[in-house]
Structure 1
Amino acid sequence: MNLSEFLLHYKNGQRNFIGLDLDDHDFHALDLSDAVFEECYFHSTSWVGSNLQNTRFKNCSLKCADFRNTNLTNAAIQDCLVDSIAFNGAITKDFVFSGNDFYGATVDQKDFEETFKDEDRK
């Protein structure tokens, strides 16, 4: 599925996506709330300014993803690859970050609050 097809499926009400491969795409300022992504590849993607409220990423590869200034209220990133990920300015009320792989180390909510939350790799 390419980006246009994905956005059409989302617009038509689909919220669960498994195995998407949308590396190097721009999701800037989109409303993708309530989506569930499992085993998806989002390397070098930009989610800047998007609404990802209630969105779940499970077993995804988010290497070099940019979530700066994104609404992640009640969202979750779990069991994902999170190397070189940025969150500076993101809204993270009730955000869950657990079991993620960061350069071979497992990182959790405490690591998010202490290190990742203000990360701005740009």
Structure 2
Amino acid sequence: MKQREFYQQNLSGDAFPDGIAEYCQFYHCDFSRADLSEIQFIHCKFYDERSSESCSFYRAKLTDASFKHCDLTMADFRHINALGLEIHDSKVQGADFRGASFMNMIGHNSYFCSASLIRNNFSYANFEDVVLEQCELSGNRWSEVNVLGAKFCGSDLSDGEFHHMDWASANFTHCNLTGCDLSQLDPRRVDLTGVQISHEQQSQLLEQLGLIIL
């Protein structure tokens, strides 16, 4: 499917029989509870600048779905099933991911996560209590993001932009933070166990402790 416009429609996976939507525009559309597994959205727009409103994916099944070069500003991703979700090179400012599950439970207390969220703008997005452990999360902009209670343990967050974010409110242990600006990270308040950084980043962290590196 290419270059179609949808207005105020309730859409399911049946609307994309070939499994691909390219250069489509969705205005005030509702994907709530829809099964969108493995569907690819490429260069699609889900945000209406005139009304400042976006589309809803509330409780949708987005297993192995893909969004590339899309405008997902203000999208409602609450309580989605997102195992294997890909979002690449997209605008996702202000999107709400509360309750989103990127996990596959393999036991009562055992699980693994799978997601590839790369080179996106997540400014002002809400990731409160979201678990994204050992996922591909590099090259993203995380300005003013709510990460209260979120778990990023072991994920690749390299080359990310972090501004006005409360590092201490989330778990970043064992993450790859190489290439990130850590000037706003206070190592006295954040558990940095197993975190990977470069030699150049050492001085940023040590300056927070009052040390001057010569």
Q: Structure 1 5/86 Cα, relative in aligned 2: closer, same or farther at 3 Å?
A: closer
Matched length: 111
Q: Structure 1 117/78 Cα, relative in aligned 2: closer, same or farther at 3 Å?
A: farther
Once the two structures are TM-superposed, the CA of residue 14 in structure 1 deviates from its matched residue by 1.4
Larger-gyration structure (1/2): 2
Are 2:137 and 1:109 equivalent residues in the alignment?
Answer: yes
Structure 2: stretches of 5+ with no match in the other structure: 48-53, 103-112, 124-135, 150-214
Once the two structures are TM-superposed, the CA of residue 117 in structure 1 deviates from its matched residue by 6.4
Once the two structures are TM-superposed, the CA of residue 7 in structure 1 deviates from its matched residue by 5.4
TM-score norm. by structure 1 comes to 0.78
Structure 1: stretches of 5+ with no match in the other structure: none
Find the counterpart in structure 1 of residue 30 from structure 2: 26
Map 1:1-122 to 2 at 5 A. Answer: 1=4, 2=6, 3=9, 8-10=14-16, 13-43=17-47, 44-92=54-102, 93-102=113-122, 109=137, 115=145
Identity %: 25
TM-score norm. by structure 2 comes to 0.46
1:10-43 superposed Cα distances (whole Å, 9 cap, x missing partner) = 2xx3101101100221111000111000000011
* 2:13 and 2:35 in contact (8 A); partners too: no
User: Whose helix proportion is higher, 1 or 2?
Assistant: 1
State the AA in 2 paired with 1:94: S
